[in-house]
Amino acid sequence: MGTAGRGSRGSRQLPALTAAERAAVRTPEQACAEGEGDEGLCRFLSAPRAPRPLEMKALFLGPRGENAPRLEALLVRALRDNAAWRRAFHPGDLPVVSDEDAASAGFTRFWEGFEEELFALLEELKADVPFHSPRYLGHFLGDTALPALAASIATLLYNPNNVSWEVSPITTLLEVEVARELAAMVGFGRGAEELARTWGHVTSGGTVANIEALWAAKAARYLPLAVRAAALESGLSGLPVRPGGPPVGSATSWELAGLPLAAALDLEERYVRAFVEACPDMAPAEAAGRAAARLRAHDVLTLGDQAFAASLGEGDRLGPPVLVASQTMHYSWKKAAGLAGLGSASIWPVPVDRRFRLDAAALRARLRQAAAERRPVLMAVAVCGTTEEGAVDPVHEVVRLREELRAEGLDFFLHCDAAYGGYLAACFRDERLGLRPIEAMRADYGGWPEAEVYDAFAALSEVDSLTVDPHKLGFVPYPAGAVVFRDGRCRELLSQEAPYVFDAEEPGRSQGPSIGRYILEGSKPGSAAAAVCLAHRVIPLDERGYGALLGRLVGLARTFEARLGEVARRLEGRFVVAPIASPDTNVVDYLVNAAGNDRLDVMNRLALSLYAQLSIAPQEPLNARRFLVSHTALTSEAYAPEVVRPLLEERAGVRGAYYVGTDELCELRRASAATGHDDRVVVLRSAMMSPFALEPARGDRTYLDFFFDDLATFLEGGRVSSEA
């Protein structure tokens, strides 16, 4: 959220909340206005806010713990501050732990044991993965941003539980705030009022966010059918499907299941209103509650899939629902489909093109097929930053396709799984959250992004829901994912209480926003919301903050790609080294081969032996490895030969149809006819997560200089010493 926008919205600390939401707690601003706030905080709030440039070197603890003394000072203050807060709650209460207690033998022994165990644990953790180092070039895991880390640790001392406002009055507000900030970053709404119509919250991660989005999408798809049943039961069969449209009582299940999300949610609202109007003798709140309860009784989440399907009339049945998703989808979608009752077999994967981006034409064919089979499409998933390749699906084309098919009565809930790539949206936003021109971005980020990537991010504002993980490119400690819905009414679909309680407020007692009843999870850490919140306050979600950090990382990926080209030239005639595609984000996947080798199985063995030299060896000390990368496999189960074979031929020099399906491979092996075939392509994968990869590591040679030397040495069969 831009610093500029803050003051103008009335609250410096919670700019994305509405006045009503802020009224639920006494904000620091109010307390200060009444002369009762903490002195330091009031001074901070009333001082003009100077622009604070993002200083990359101040942002992390550092590869050598360079910023440890500064973090130590902050954490000690945070701990003392928490203790002072404890004392200030009824200062006259007597201490429980007296000096004599603390001097007792039992007390001392307890603390000694505790200390020993703690430091033994820390010794064990020394074998952990050194994500903090620019030598770690593997998964999207890096050093955490200090504001997030400090806020997380400091808030743990309070241990708020964001399941309910009652046990997290502050961090619940922070959670609503950060979700709105993420909504604003992707263009879901501008200004507090528009943003208040979105809904989002922090989750334990992208998996839970995806599951929740599918849960809501399923409820939304069948909502009009539940409204039809409730309306018929209530003598409201004349309720029009759309204003001025045909009555709901005469609409078919297929027509109703094809309504756009907003139309479905509008229909629900009009049903409740019609119900209230038809009961003039009942108090409106009570009538609305009755209407909601009746609707709930017909809902798919209440009835379960079988009873719901059975409730539809003969001749008006629907086929089983499907989920259509980019082939490169994360495996959490399989979990989600199983949980949502579709079964993972009802996921229709859509092939990707040679850039590993969803093929929109193939998607159209899949959607048409679903329509022909009368199978409702619960959701279409586009991925922004695929887990394996960092590829960005053409969200703009999927949005266009939705328009096109809507005209044919086929609609789908569009979700963008931006668990990994979502924060890159900050690169696209200026400090007023306007979309930056592509030329300005390319000038800043080493030529990134390509037009397709730009259009995809610009179209995020049109999707129905979005997963974005602060614990990935937000550099926030685990657990911190998020799900955001563009139409905030979606949360009512999942609500465990009657939604239409017009008179919720008990007189004289303000009611805070509640999260727990609308979400999948129960008890959850308020410290996660606080961590995300402080990260956003210090690192704005636009070109000045996350945009600058992540822009550097995508620029590094382009440098990495160029350096791969240099190594390839150095090794020409002996080895092949090449990226599988130009990176859409900050991940580079690359393949290696021996020059002239045509056999895919041999090529894969070479990649695995290289990986073995660039990954943690459990039996050896951590620093036996100078660099760490990750690897993945393009498997025939997920990637079509039309995508992979040309790639192998052009980039790795593997001619012939050696890339085959698993069944075919088994057959070939059984007949002893496998002459180099495999059902996968092993590729190495490096995510650029450290902004310091081009800093000198020794002398004037950078981390990347050393890395590419090692890569060449290993390929030529040489060894490197663990020093230098």
Ligand X SMILES: *Cc1c(COP(=O)(O)O)cnc(C)c1O
Residue numbers of the site for ligand X (CB under 6 A)? 205-207, 210, 330, 332, 383, 387, 417, 419-420, 469, 481
* Whether 527 contacts 152, CB under 8 Å: yes
Q: What would the two tokens of residue 685 be?
A: 């994968």
CB of 585 to ligand X, least distance (A): 11
CB of 332 to ligand X, least distance (A): 5
Q: 31 burial class (0-12, 13-18, 19+ CB within 10 angstroms)?
A: middle
How far apart are the C-alpha atoms of 202 and 185, rounded to whole Å?
15
Query: CB-wise, 383 or 688, nearer to ligand X?
Result: 383
Q: 160 burial class (0-12, 13-18, 19+ CB within 10 angstroms)?
A: buried
Query: CB-wise, 205 or 224, nearer to ligand X?
Result: 205
CB of 330 to ligand X, least distance (A): 3
* Whether 338 contacts 344, CB under 8 Å: yes
What is the identity of the amino acid at 673? A
Q: What would the two tokens of residue 611 be?
A: 């990986």
Residue closest to 174 by CA, chosen among 40, 28, 17, 11: 17
Task: Detail the DSSP E strand segments found in 428-562.
Answer: 465-468, 481-485
Q: 266 burial class (0-12, 13-18, 19+ CB within 10 angstroms)?
A: middle
Q: Is 432 helix (H, G, I), strand (E, B) or coil?
A: coil
How far apart are the C-alpha atoms of 513 and 181, rounded to whole Å?
17
Question: CA separation (Å) from 234 to 127, 227, 238?
Answer: 65, 10, 11
Query: CB-wise, 383 or 441, nearer to ligand X?
Result: 383
Q: What would the two tokens of residue 233 be?
A: 């039961």
Residue 588: in which H helix or E strand, if any?
Answer: strand 587-594
- Give the up-direction half-sphere exposure of residue 716: CA atoms within 13 A in the CB hemisphere: 15
* Whether 369 contacts 376, CB under 8 Å: no
CB of 4 to ligand X, least distance (A): 31
Q: Is 39 helix (H, G, I), strand (E, B) or coil?
A: helix
CB of 487 to ligand X, least distance (A): 22
Which sign, positive or negative, has the C-alpha torsion 488, 494, 499, 504?
negative
